[in-house]
Every structure is written in structure tokens, then in C-alpha cells.
Chains A and B, each alone.
Chain A
Amino acid sequence: MSSNIYLPHLATITEIEPQTPDTMIFRVVLEDSTLAQSFIYRPGQFAELSIFGVGECPISIASTPTRKGSLEFCVRAVGQVTNALHELDVGSKIGIRGPYGNSFPLFDLEGRNLLFIGGGIGLAPLRSLINYVLDNRDHYGEVELIYGARTPQELVFKEELRLWGEQEGATVYLTVDRGDERWKGPVGFVPSFLREIAPSPENKVAFTCGPPIMIKLVMEALEEMGFPPDRIVTTLEMKMKCGVGKCGRCNIGSRYVCRDGPVFTFEELKMLPGELEF
């Protein structure tokens, strides 16, 4: 007897941490403690969050499975459901379905150097993998993060950016499109910043997530810099609805983003029909 794939599990919001004017981190605990223990997910996967009476939306899981306790979602208020989520308080009940989607190719990363390139809220799914890697430090090589946002206020996970930079074998490069009076760091778009830093592709896999145009420019730049397309990885967060490959909405060609993705390599994307959002 198969379980009901459309029925969410109840969860409680235990913590809300505003990040930017329109982004918040929600820490959520599943009500059923057995389920909470056995909720196994991998970095790169997403969940469908329900606000009963308003609707459901897919959000990538920003926490890492190596740290038990709660699930973390970094949510930007863009539509009906996300705006309703922002109105909730600690203690509010929501629904969770998941984890869905494929994940970052963990097996292939053993021993590799890892380069993360994020833009804006695109850092959220990458954060899951970054923390996973730092929690399993011996298995991976050098870690680099190139991250930018439109303004310093719009950088997310600011505290962690600082902590990551302090880790052995990890380097964090930050940039903003537009600085302010207090910003002392580099100013410029992420793709050009990437080209300036020119990280070596040696034994390295690159992961990128951010606004569609940024992903496109970054993947092209990485390829020009010598990264083979099967070692350029991105996660597409687009037009998913049911999350389980049934409703027919999120296909790109015969691939469904919720079922065959959301993680794709540049090589895989090149084989899909040209109707990516960029």
C-alpha cells in the first residue's frame, strides 16, 4: 500500500531569522518525531511547503543532513504562498512534503576541490552542500566560495560567510553589484568577478546557483576557463508544482526538473531543448 504522495506532514516553525528585506530563514521541525528522525535528505533536494488555505511551493532545503534537529529553508517573498509564509510566527504550523528531486552528486566529489559560485538567494541550496562538505572535511579538497548580491543588505547567511572564511582550506570571495558607504569589499557582477579570480579547474567541480542570467554567464565562463561541462553543476529552481513528476509543468524536453533535477550538469543542460529560463 503506497503512501499518499500529496498529503503533507505537519511541521512547526521553531525559528525565523530575517536575512534581507524580503528574505527569511525558517527553521522547521516535523511534528511526528519518528518521521523527523527518519527524514533522510541529501544536499540539493527540495521540499514542498504548505500553508494550508493558501497553497504550496517548492523550496530547496538549505540545511545539511549532517546536522540533525531542524530543516532550514531560506525563503524570498515573491508570490502568494511565500508572502503568506512571511506572515507566520514561531509556533505556526505548516505542511511539508519531500524530500524531492535528485541531489548534488556526492559520490563523484570524493577527494575533489570544490568551487561554489552563488548569487543572491541562490546561495541557499549551495549552503546545504557547503556545510555538508565542511562537516565531512577529510573527504574533500579545497573549498572556494565566490558569492555576490545586488547590495550588501541582500547578502544572505552573512554570519556563516564569515565563519566559512575562517575555516582551514576554505576561501570566501564576496562582491556586490552596488556597494554602500560601509562596504569595503570588491564591487562588480559575479560572472566578471569569477573571471578576475580565475580559479584553476584542476581536480575541481564547480557548483552555481543564482538568478537565471547569472547562471548562464557563470557556466559559460567556467567552460572557457577550462572546466569540463560535466564538472559544472547547477540547480534549477523553476516552475515546479507537484514536486513528484506528475503534474506535467516543469519539463524541459523529456526531463522533469522535480524528478530528474533540480540538479543538472552543464553537459546535461546542453542536451535539453532550448527553453531554459535563460
Chain B
Amino acid sequence: MEQELREIVRKLLQEGAIEHFIGYAEGVEPLHTTPCFIEREEEVGALVWSPFCPYNLARYLHQMKNGAGKVGLVVKGCDARAIVELVKGNQIQRERVVVVGVPCQGQVDLAKVEEAFQGAEAVEDAGDTFLVTVGEEGHSVEKERLLREKCFFCKHPISFEYDFVLGEMSPFLLDRRSELEFAMIEEMESLPVEERRAFWRAQFERCSRCYACRDICYACYCQECIFESRAPRWLEKTTTSLDNQTYHLIRAWHMVGRCIDCGECERVCPMEIPLRQLYKKVEREVEQLFDYEAGMRVEDLPPLVTFQVDDLGLVI
């Protein structure tokens, strides 16, 4: 698959069809990749594909507004939902992006690997299982044991047109998919409000306001972020309990109808705040109120900028 990808990109560059290609390259650490920008044919050898490609590369399309040329990128099916939303939000024009779909069958959670197999050097996708290499030994592991949580309910956009595909693009299905998706928040929802508030307050106490969650998010493309506004100055860089809560709750609001649960925010948080739980709740509310899922079809109108007559019945 890597060879095929490299050949596609090489041709695109050779033909001058794109200015650069955004893909995954090997990282310094084992079990890590890093985003890469390929500008010349000679560089395509750097492109890799593995179960350690969590990045939603659509995030790097934010800069497209400043240019005029075409850009190529590789996406997993889940990432393609971001492209749908970026088109919907007028952030990119679909014809300026060359989308290469990679048939991902599950991404690996680094923490789970490190806990189960200390010193693991490689993990490969072996179809139904993951093959973990520790030293000289290979261990075949049930995918569920090492899978990133969000992969349990893998979702692709409906009838997305890729410019190239490296295989069949279909969601990675597990039997328990539909019940699992909101299970993570059901426990929280059953708690009294006071306990929920106390839980989140404690989580936000830890927040160092590094803005990694905002800066990795494909949907945070405002030219001037509300948190950078000077006049009025909504939030300073102080990290009091109130400031941190304000930051996270405002961001949660801004994700209404836009979060696609790529899971990146939680992955990048150095303080391990369970951000997916917060945004999953927002996602569920949107689904229940507006029967809307982000990133599935370009034609679906974003709920907060659309008025339907029967919205009058909603209690907001």
C-alpha cells in the first residue's frame, strides 16, 4: 500500500497537479509517525502507512485560503468527514484538494500497547489481528485489545468521492458498534448534576491551557480565535478554575454540529483530560435535537445556521 501511495504522489508532483502532498512519515520514536509535507518527487519515499497514523491531516488544509493552487493529502475514512465539513463551511473548495483514501482497519492506542507489551517496537495490521513485535518475538493480538476507543465506532461519510483509493474504503465494523458509541457518556449522564460538575471541575483544574486541543482540531479554523481577541478580551492566559472552565465550555459550544470525534483533542492533551467525553455529549445532544451528524454528507445543513419551522418545538 505504501508503494502505491508513493507512486500516486510521485505522479501528482511530476504532473504539477499539486503544490504539495500531506501525508504520514516515520517518527523518531518507535510506534510513532509524524505529519509530513512532500514538495518534491524525491521525497515520496518518506510516506508511510501504519496503525500509528492518528493525525487528521485535514487540519493542515486550513492554510489553503491563503493560496490558489491544489494540495493533496491522504485520509482515513474518518478523516474524510473533516473534508466534508470544511467544504460545508466554505474553508476549502473540493476541486482544489486531491484526496487519497487509505483503507484503515483500525488505529492502535499507544497507551494500550505500552501497557500490554513493554518495549514493543512495531505493530502491524494483520487483517483480523494486530501483530506486535517485541524484540525477536511477534505476538498476534485481537484487535479489540489495542484499538483506539474511537475506532470501535468507525464512521465514514456517506458516498464520499475520493480522487484515489488504496483499497476498499469501508468502515471498520465490530459487532458492538452501535451500543458502544454513547456508552462512555451514559454513566456520566446517570450521575446527579452536582457530581458531574465536580468531575469536570476537577478535570479542568489540571488543564494547562496549552491550546493543543484547539490547535489540533480540524474545526478550529477561525482566523481570529475568540480566545485571541483583544477587544473585547474574553479570556486572559490565567489558569484559574473559572478561566479553564470558560475555555472548555466555550470550545464545546463551538463544536456543536462540527465535532466528528476524530479523537485528536484527547490524544494530544498532555494532562490526559478525557475531552472526548465532553464532545461526545455535545454530539449526542445534536443528534437528538436536530437528527444531525457532522461530516456525513455535504448537503446536510449545519444545524445552528439553519432554521426549520419545527425548530419552534425545541427547548434550547
Contact = CB atoms under 8 A, between A and B. Distances in A.
B231 to A, nearest CB: 7
Interface string A72-110: 000000011000000000000000000000000000000
A173 B233 CA distance: 42
Size class of the B contact interface (CB-based, 8 Å): under 10
Nearest to A80: B231
Contacts of A79: 230
A79 B230 CA distance: 9
Nearest to B231: A80
B74 to A, nearest CB: 35
A54 to B, nearest CB: 10
A80 B232 CA distance: 9
Nearest to B233: A80
Nearest to A55: B233
Nearest to A79: B230
Interface residues of A, number: 2
Per DSSP, are chain B's interface residues mostly helix, strand or loop, or mixed? loop
Contacts of B230: 79-80
Interface string B216-244: 00000000000000110100000000000
Contacts of B233: 80
Interface in B112-168: none
Interface in A37-79: 79
B238 to A, nearest CB: 13
A79 B232 CA distance: 11
Nearest to A83: B231
A191 B231 CA distance: 34
Contacts of A80: 230-231, 233
B236 to A, nearest CB: 10
Interface in B175-233: 230-231, 233
Interface string B260-272: 0000000000000
A80 B231 CA distance: 8
B228 to A, nearest CB: 14
A223 B176 CA distance: 77
Interface string B14-44: 0000000000000000000000000000000
A80 B230 CA distance: 8
B63 to A, nearest CB: 22
A123 to B, nearest CB: 27
B233 to A, nearest CB: 7
Contacts of B231: 80
Interface string A155-194: 0000000000000000000000000000000000000000
Interface in A102-127: none
A199 to B, nearest CB: 41
A273 to B, nearest CB: 25
B25 to A, nearest CB: 30
A245 to B, nearest CB: 20
A234 to B, nearest CB: 27
A83 to B, nearest CB: 9
A144 B231 CA distance: 41
A45 B230 CA distance: 28
A48 B231 CA distance: 21
A13 B231 CA distance: 26
Nearest to B236: A55
Interface string B272-287: 0000000000000000
B181 to A, nearest CB: 45
B229 to A, nearest CB: 12
Interface string A123-162: 0000000000000000000000000000000000000000
A80 B233 CA distance: 9
B135 to A, nearest CB: 45
B310 to A, nearest CB: 45
Nearest to B232: A80
A233 to B, nearest CB: 32
A51 to B, nearest CB: 14
A111 to B, nearest CB: 47
B125 to A, nearest CB: 45
Interface in A229-271: none
A244 B129 CA distance: 60
A58 to B, nearest CB: 17
Closest 3 CB pairs of A and B: A80-B231, A80-B233, A80-B230
4 contacts: A79-B230, A80-B230, A80-B231, A80-B233
